[in-house]
Structure 1
């Protein structure tokens, strides 16, 4: 089939099917590369959420101990950690771990981490607490934070996500 050209008329340009398929393949490749990045980010966010809950409890316990003049404590259970304020027999605030997650504790100077089983992290009225390192794990991914004994804030953190 031959084209008939009209003098003075412009030829219309269009993309070929090959060019369109090439662009679609590039888009699919970029989307495929982005999926692992997004899944790693969501895993990191889950770990950070647990650490944030523990940080809030630590800051609350420290503030409560300083304002009441009596020690407060964070209790580390197998699948949760809890805040017990001074004068309370039972914890007033509990934060369970999401399913599939675990954590370990390492006290200052300890060589090996411990699995949580009712250990107490005591906050004195002076505002001091024992320096402690907590590692929260979700499968192979983990986040480790070391708490400062003066501020009960995070002094150091490290993270790994495969």
Structure 2
């Protein structure tokens, strides 16, 4: 049996794999899709006007509950027309927070029927580390966010 040498040359064997051009095109498309995905998440994060006030009130409530236990004295968060503050103590991040203009702060106390303007209300934290379980609502023309606070931890619960 004779074997034809011309049939076994590398030029006649079909090569498997991808060309460099195909690999570059696929990688470029992947980078483009991933970049658009990250950009869309960054845009969504910047649009929540309630994140900072909610985070600041949660930080203040946690500070007040911890400070009241450590110092063995009552702490109070007072609400006024423009924001809220911790009375009688200096918080490292600032004891007063002014809510953005156009935003309202409402409070719903335990046993209450309706939401009330937060102006003039006081939220007390006892020496034993217990606070009143309240709900706080931040409202603006863009929408609203409600926070419900746990009486033992002073943090918001969902």
Q: Distance in 2 between matches of 1:41 and 1:139?
A: 18
Q: CA RMSD in A?
A: 2.3
Q: Distance in 2 between matches of 1:85 and 1:148?
A: 22
Using the size of structure 1 for normalisation, the TM-score is 0.65
Match of 1:63 among 35, 51, 66: 66
Q: Superposed, which structure 2 residues align to 1:114-153 within 5 Å?
A: 114-153=116-155
Q: Deviations over 1:34-68 (max 9, x none)?
A: 99x94x64332x20110000011101111111011
1:47 to 2:50 alignment: yes
CA shift, 1:128, in A, is 0.2
Q: Distance in 2 between matches of 1:83 and 1:43?
A: 28
- Shift of the 141–111 alpha-carbon distance from structure 1 to 2, 3 Å rule, reads same
Partner of 2:12: none
Could you tell me which runs of 5 or more consecutive residues in structure 2 were left unpaired when the two chains were aligned: 1-35
Could you tell me which runs of 5 or more consecutive residues in structure 1 were left unpaired when the two chains were aligned: 1-30, 157-162
Structure 1 or 2, whichever has the larger Rg, is 2
Q: Distance in 2 between matches of 1:61 and 1:67?
A: 10
